[in-house]
Structure 1
Amino acid sequence: MLPVESKAQVFIVLGATDMRKAVNGLSIMVADHLDLELFTGSFFVFCNRGRTSIKVLYWDNNGFCLWQKRLEKHRFFWPESEQEVLEFSHRQFRWILDGLDPMQVKGHPRLSYKNIL
């Protein structure tokens, strides 16, 4: 199971990614092409053209980790946007892994309160 830390950001890299890329190729894509910081513990999520495979690249203390999920049947719902990268919550990322469309699922809005003392 993929470790999910509440502090780590989740970046969904839109479009199709060549799944033959491993740690080196994906990390170069993140640092050079997308201009994002690799060593923060953030999750960088990639999907293939057929939407049957997802790879997650992240830095874990002293090295890169690469996690993959390949569906034997069905396809992942993958967001489409003009942007190259979307920042998702861990909850939305979990929805993708569970086969839900994160752009369609709506829950109660988050509440925040201020102390009036």
Structure 2
Amino acid sequence: MFSPTQNLKIHIALGSTDMRKSIDGLSILVSETLNLDPFSGHMFVFCNRKQNILKILYWDRNGFCLWHKRLEKDCFQWPKSKNEILTIGAKELSWLMDGLSIHQEKAHKPLKYSAVF
């Protein structure tokens, strides 16, 4: 089962990616174009031009995993930005895979408390 944890870094490669690329091609893209470490254990998310296919590449202890989702109808709300890469959390990835924008204005913001002694 594919289930990202809260502490995991998820990097979105903005723009479109050739979905003919598999593990080798995507890991080279991560290291050479995005200047990130494909062996870090972080997730790297790619989308095609039609925005109906997502691929997620990540290193899992002793090998690469490639998760692929193709929508039969509709498209993903892929973020538009002038940056090459965007780092999001597990909640935003879940929204993206559900067809929602990663910027949910009405979502509850995380609360952080500090102990007072």
The two structures share one fold, judged by TM-score above 0.5: yes
Q: Give structure 1 stretches of 5+ with no counterpart.
A: none
Match of 2:57 in 1: 57
Match of 1:81 in 2: 81
Deviating beyond 4 angstroms after TM superposition, the runs of 4 or more aligned structure 1 residues are none
Task: State the shift of 1:104 in Å.
Answer: 3.9
Match of 2:115 in 1: 115
Residues 7-46 of structure 1 show CA distances to partners (whole Å, capped at 9, x for unaligned) of 2210011000000000000000001111111112111000
Q: Name the count of aligned residue pairs.
A: 117
Q: Distance in 2 between matches of 1:104 and 1:26?
A: 29
AA aligned to 1:73 is K
Identity, % of aligned positions = 47
RMSD value over aligned CA atoms? 1.2
Match of 2:6 in 1: 6
AA aligned to 1:44 is F
Residue 35 (1) aligns with residue 35 (2) = yes
AA aligned to 2:23 is V
Asked whether the equivalents of residues 8 and 89 of structure 2 are also in contact (C-alpha less than 8 Å), the reply is no
Task: State the shift of 1:105 in Å.
Answer: 4.5
TM-score, normalisation: structure 2: 0.94
TM-score, normalisation: structure 1: 0.94
Task: State the shift of 1:4 in Å.
Answer: 1.4
